[in-house]
A and B are shown apart, each in its own frame.
Chain A
Amino acid sequence: DAKTTQPTSMDCAEGRAANLPCNHSTISGNEYVYWYRQIHSQGPQYIIHGLKNNETNEMASLIITEDRKSSTLILPHATLRDTAVYYCIVRVRDAGNMLTFGGGTRLMVKP
């Protein structure tokens, strides 16, 4: 799986958009970008994934650059409950393929 680079931590004001970047310059053509988050002392939660098109669901939007070397997860209106560690993972969409977690970004949403 391609390596990803994320900032160690970020702050965001409550109610504002949180934009979490991820660099994956060695991503290959068949690798997807996945985002998970982990709230303290809980299991990770799936957020969104994409290949090359921008994606949106009820939780977030995923913007992938045209060259696919980086992406941004957007939480449009961050709340205090969005405080968590956010993991960007690139992997082949394949049966049996496990997830490899890096350090992630610790997002702190502040009132």
Chain B
Amino acid sequence: GAVVSQHPSRVICKSGTSVKIECRSLDFQATTMFWYRQFPKQSLMLMATSNEGSKATYEQGVEKDKFLINHASLTLSTLTVTSAHPEDSSFYICSARLLADTQYFGPGTRLTVL
């Protein structure tokens, strides 16, 4: 099946710093990737839709200036959490759309902001 990777798998950073998370589709090209966030014992919440070569579409309540998304190629999307704070600590998951009907998810990145 299609494989999506994320890097890093875990990151711990100090409050006020920025963190970049990479999402790669390893064996297919993805014109659309999605970024989700999951807090403990909660379901996944969509943050934004990332389209190759264009600006990302953010869900209501998600600050686009805080969560910078870049989808520069058909196999790579990045999420940068700028000026991270402890409340940004979460499990960040990306997915890539292979066909119109199937999304494949990355393994997730656990961000801890001290």
Residues on A facing B (Cβ under 8 Å): 32, 34, 36, 38, 41-46, 49, 87, 93-104
Closest 4 CB pairs between A and B? A43-B105, A101-B44, A93-B101, A101-B43
CB distance from A101 to the nearest CB of B (A): 4
Query: Which residues in B have their C-beta under 8 angstroms from that of A34?
Result: 101
Partner of B102, one of A49, A87, A102: A49
What's the dominant secondary structure at chain B's contact region? strand
Query: Which residues in A have their C-beta under 8 angstroms from that of B6?
Result: 43
Partner of B105, one of A41, A44, A94, A102: A44
Determine whether the beta carbon of B43 is less than 8 Å from that of A98: no
Partner of A96, one of B44, B97, B102: B97
CA distance A36 to B110 in the complex (A): 20
Task: Assign chain B's interface to a size class.
Answer: 20 to 34
Query: Which residues in A have their C-beta under 8 angstroms from that of B106?
Result: 43
**Chain A CB within 8 A of B32 CB:** yes
Number of A-B residue pairs at CB separation under 8 A = 57
A-B contacts, 15 listed (Cβ < 8 Å): A34-B101, A41-B110, A43-B4, A43-B106, A45-B105, A49-B101, A93-B101, A95-B97, A95-B100, A96-B97, A98-B46, A98-B49, A98-B103, A101-B45, A103-B43
Query: Which residues in A have their C-beta under 8 angstroms from that of B44?
Result: 38, 44, 101
CA distance A96 to B13 in the complex (A): 33
Query: Which residues in A have their C-beta under 8 angstroms from that of B97?
Result: 95-96
Query: Which residues in B have their C-beta under 8 angstroms from that of A101?
Result: 36, 43-45
CA distance A45 to B105 in the complex (A): 7
Determine whether the beta carbon of B103 is less than 8 Å from that of A96: no
CA distance A107 to B49 in the complex (A): 29
Query: Which residues in A have their C-beta under 8 angstroms from that of B91?
Result: 41
Determine whether the beta carbon of B107 is less than 8 Å from that of A46: no
CA distance A34 to B100 in the complex (A): 13
CA distance A56 to B4 in the complex (A): 24
Query: Which residues in B have their C-beta under 8 angstroms from that of A93?
Result: 100-101
Q: Mark B34-61, 1 if CB is under 8 A from A, else 0.
A: 1010000001111001010000000000
Query: Which residues in B have their C-beta under 8 angstroms from that of A95?
Result: 32, 97, 100
